[in-house]
Amino acid sequence: MRRTDEDIRLREIALGVVDGLIPLVEEGPDGRVNRPLLDALGQDLLPEIFPENVGGKLHGSVSARALCVIRECLGQHLPPAETALALQGLGGYPILLHATAAPMERWVPAVAAGRAVAGFALTEPEAGSDAAAISTSANRTDDGWVISGEKTWISNAPDADVYTVFARTGEEGSRGVSAFVVPGDSPGLTGDSLDMVAPHALGRIRLEEVTVPPDALLGEENRGFRVAMTTLDLFRPSVGAFAVGLAQAALDATLEHTASREAFGGTLGDLQAIQHGVADMAVDIETARLLVFEAADEYDNGGPDVTRLSAMAKLHATEMASRVVDKAIQFHGARALERGHLLEELYREVRAPRIYEGASEVQRTIIARELLSSERTRE
């Protein structure tokens, strides 16, 4: 794939900070927010995905392509740093794109600088893939809103300083959901962390009559599902970019291993089965990369096929990465299954992206719906 001058600049910045971030990753807590790491990301990389008017470096609005470049690079070289950056963006972007002036000014510059931690609170114990089925409620009062309910598998919970919380304010289904900015220290908000296969900062939060002011509403009342879906349309290509980075790391390790590992009178790389395998891995990675950046460009250009291409990019890239990492482990043999081996870590990292921000089955449904809708429009 041909990279633009801006792609190259961003990639060089990301590569330039990786070595300095490694000690922060190694010294940080597993499965909890790593504030020193976020503070370091706020010096160089986080500002690259936030606009100038909130303290970032982007000219204009957000850039899906910039997000993809950085996530792919960090996914390839330092996945924990990638995850920290991605969760910060996922929690902060709804506020950036939909908040009124006061919460925007309070939270977004601090999030962009890594000083405040943001979380995205959509999923519930009984409302995962069917996000429109959420039961957390937000009732209007004279002073704003009172929110009650439980959220789970939430980014940066329970340590976030601010959450984007989705709650029901109207009828059943997607048309009765609203989005709110909720400070993490709000009275009535509690939570705990979750121990995941890969040590990501995810947890549960419980809201027991949490009060927020009127300007906490993001966008329009009962249109919060649109806030969620527009955020996911932006982030799904970059999930694909993360997966591409993981797969590239697996391929790089496989090429190094098979070129030096002696077997059957030569090296593993001399065997045609291995050669064909790494060729297939490389083709799969490059096709996924092309689709990811096509979806990112469609978003940045305001194209009509953002939802379809974003779903395609996430689906194809995350499924591809699972296959590539699995094949890399097969070519390495038992050593790749040892705790602490690069591929053992990649194997745990690569599983979650096929589920979060819409499972692969959900992406297929979205793609089919968009295709059929376009066909009906032409009739």
The one catalytic residue in 82, 357, 361, 379 is 357
Confirm if 240 and 314 have CB atoms less than 8 A apart. Answer: yes
What number is the average pLDDT over the span 248-269?
A: 92
> Does 159 share its domain with 187?
yes
What number is the average pLDDT over the span 5-27?
A: 96
Strands 137-141 and 144-155: antiparallel
Q: How much is the mean pLDDT over the chain? A: 94
Tell me the percentage of the chain whose pLDDT exceeds 90.
Answer: 88
Q: How many residues does the chain have?
A: 379
**Residue 291 vs residues 7, 14, 74, 117: alpha-carbon distances, Å:** 16, 22, 19, 31
pLDDT at residue number 145: 97
> Does residue 357 have an active-site annotation?
yes
> Does 338 share its domain with 287?
yes
What is the Cα–Cα distance from 294 to 49, expressed in whole angstroms?
A: 18
**Residue 287 vs residues 3, 258, 313, 317: alpha-carbon distances, Å:** 14, 23, 10, 9
CATH number assigned to the domain comprising residue 234: 1.20.140.10
Confidence band of 59 (pLDDT split at 50, 70, 90): confident
pTM assigned to the model: 0.94
272-300 and 64-77 are packed helices; what angle lies between their axes, rounded to 10 degrees?
Answer: 150
Structural domains in the chain (count): 3
Q: How many CB atoms lie within 10 A of CB 22?
A: 14
Range of the domain at 302: 226-378
> Does 156 share its domain with 294?
no
Whether 293 has a pLDDT exceeding 80, the answer reads yes
Q: What is the pLDDT of residues 132-168, one digit of tens each?
A: 789 999 999 999 999 999 999 999 999 999 999 999 9
> Does 232 share its domain with 146?
no
Whether 197 has a pLDDT exceeding 80, the answer reads yes
Domain final residue pick, 117, 145, 180: 117
CATH number assigned to the domain comprising residue 188: 2.40.110.10
Task: Tell me the H-state helices in the chain.
Answer: 5-27, 35-44, 64-77, 79-98, 101-112, 224-260, 272-300, 306-332, 342-349, 360-378
pLDDT at residue number 375: 63
pLDDT at residue number 236: 96
Return the H-helix or E-strand segment holding 203. Answer: strand 202-212
DSSP 276: H
> Does 17 share its domain with 109?
yes
